[in-house]
Amino acid sequence: MTRRPQNRENRRRRKRKVFTNRMRGRLKFVFGCVMVGFGVLGAKIIWINAQKGSQYKQQVLTQQGYSSKVIPYKRGDIVDANGTVLATDKKVYDLILEPANIVQYEKKKTATVSALKEFFGFTDEEIAGFLANEKSYYVVAKKGVEYEEVQKFEEYCKYVIDLKEQRGIKHSTIVRYKELAVRIYPAIGHIKLKDLRADHLNSFYTDLAKPGQNKSTGEGMSPKTILEHHRLISTVLDQAEKEGLVPFNVAAKATLPKVSKKEVNYFQPEQVAAIRDALDAEPLKWKTLTHLLLITGARRGEVLGLKWNAVDFTGNLIHICNNILYSPDIGVYEDTPKTATSDRWVSLPTETMQLLRQYRAWQNAERLRLGEYYREQGFLFAQDDGKPMHPDSITDWLSKFSRRHDLPHINPHAFRHTMASMLYFSGVDSVSISKRLGHAQVSTTANIYAHVMESADRKNADILADVFLKKA
């Protein structure tokens, strides 16, 4: 009984030993085959690399695509405790040519040769050397090319304008930039950023001042308009300096035309009285609109942007927070005021509030009369269908109004100047006037109305003399 189990156990041990020995043999065989395979593969790779390595390299490079883009920002410099730059970051590129593709087509070859000469300054001999191997797909013509070496002012200016637009610069400003760029590009657009000098700008500004440049008058551009061109160029070069494309803004070294300060055009009290009397014979809509221009000192677009929910009849206030503008590409559109400080509350006299109540009643009756034709948008002053008015409609109406009543020529801004001037002569301080006008800085107000302030000061001197020096 005890021997039978023992025999069975021995048989099992012998079977396990045989199985283990067989598995070891098979694993050794598989391992040997794998090692032989790796050896053969390694030898094959070495042989291919030695015999056909360059051929396969060209095939790989041919399949690769190449692209470039402007990187707007650079990484920070490494400086020491004294601010000395120890290391900086520069955008560099490798110039790679594909002779096999270039030489196939004469037009492509001609264009490539021209570009290599113009942008990189290569000689005919150097270019011939690059294109000598007509079967090559990978020739390094130049390494470590900095972008500013080849970028021209026109393409960078377009990039900056697009960048400003993406960052929320007003549409009207973008439109003006593009208008100015039309004259800038032919003059300096072809010049590389790194090659642009102050004398290039000086020549451009001199040409702008020559007769015939202003198509409407036949005269040269005004110093003010020339400065607008300069400011755009300076803005572009400021961005280039920030991005490390140029070492400094060369526009700062240009010689600018002197702009003489023009005296603001404003009406005398007797002229204002004549305008007021003439308005009594005009439609209520235009009487109210013109009245607001004079009382508020608001810009024409700000008046057209007024909505009834911005009128506080209880506090005798009006909130100037909207602007109506026109652009050829999008037509009449709403926008925010010119600057952040242009968003303001303006106090109104009781007479103005009474006129607004009268006008609102008339507008409500007119809206009911027109029915579905009138599309309510909440504007104080709108077209017959309720849509916002074109800003030029005010200028056109005032021009006809002044001729109709034999009055001095009137433009909307003259009312703005008149209000500010009258306040100065009444002894109101510059800060209060600046706030009412919506200027970003008091200095802006002071610069515009410098001569008015001088006249007001002379008047104050006479008043002081009457009080303190003259005997009763």
Per-residue pLDDT tens over the stretch 336-390: 988 888 999 999 999 999 999 999 999 999 999 988 888 889 999 999 899 999 9
Mean pLDDT to the nearest integer, 13-25: 77
Three-state secondary structure call for residue 100 = helix
Q: Is the pLDDT of residue 290 over 80?
A: yes
Residue 356 has which token pair? 């607004």
Q: What is the pLDDT of residue 145?
A: 61
Check residues 203 and 470 and name the one with the higher pLDDT.
203
* C-alpha closest to that of 194 among 165, 151, 145: 151
pLDDT band with cut points at 50, 70 and 90 for residue 64: low
Q: Is 307 helix (H, G, I), strand (E, B) or coil?
A: strand
Instruction: Please indicate whether residue 85 or residue 175 has the higher confidence score (pLDDT).
Output: 175
> Which domains, and CATH codes, for the chain?
90-149 (no CATH), 153-253 (1.10.150.130), 269-461 (1.10.443.10)
The structure tokens listed for 439 are 């200027």
Strand-strand pairing, 311-312 and 331-335 = unpaired
The better pLDDT of the pair 216, 470 is held by 216
**Range of weakest confidence among 147-156, 310-319, 381-390:** 147-156
Summarised one tens digit per residue, pLDDT across range 204-248 is 999 999 998 888 888 999 999 999 999 999 999 999 999 888 899
pTM over 0.75: no
Helices (H), 388-428: 391-404, 412-425
> Is the pLDDT assigned to residue 161 strictly greater than 80?
yes
**Whole-angstrom Cα distance, residue 182 to residue 223?**
18
Angle, CA of 461, 466 and 472, to the nearest 5°: 170
3-class secondary-structure state, position 324: strand
Residue 275 pLDDT class (50, 70, 90 cuts): very high
| Contact between 421 and 414 (Cβ < 8 Å) | no
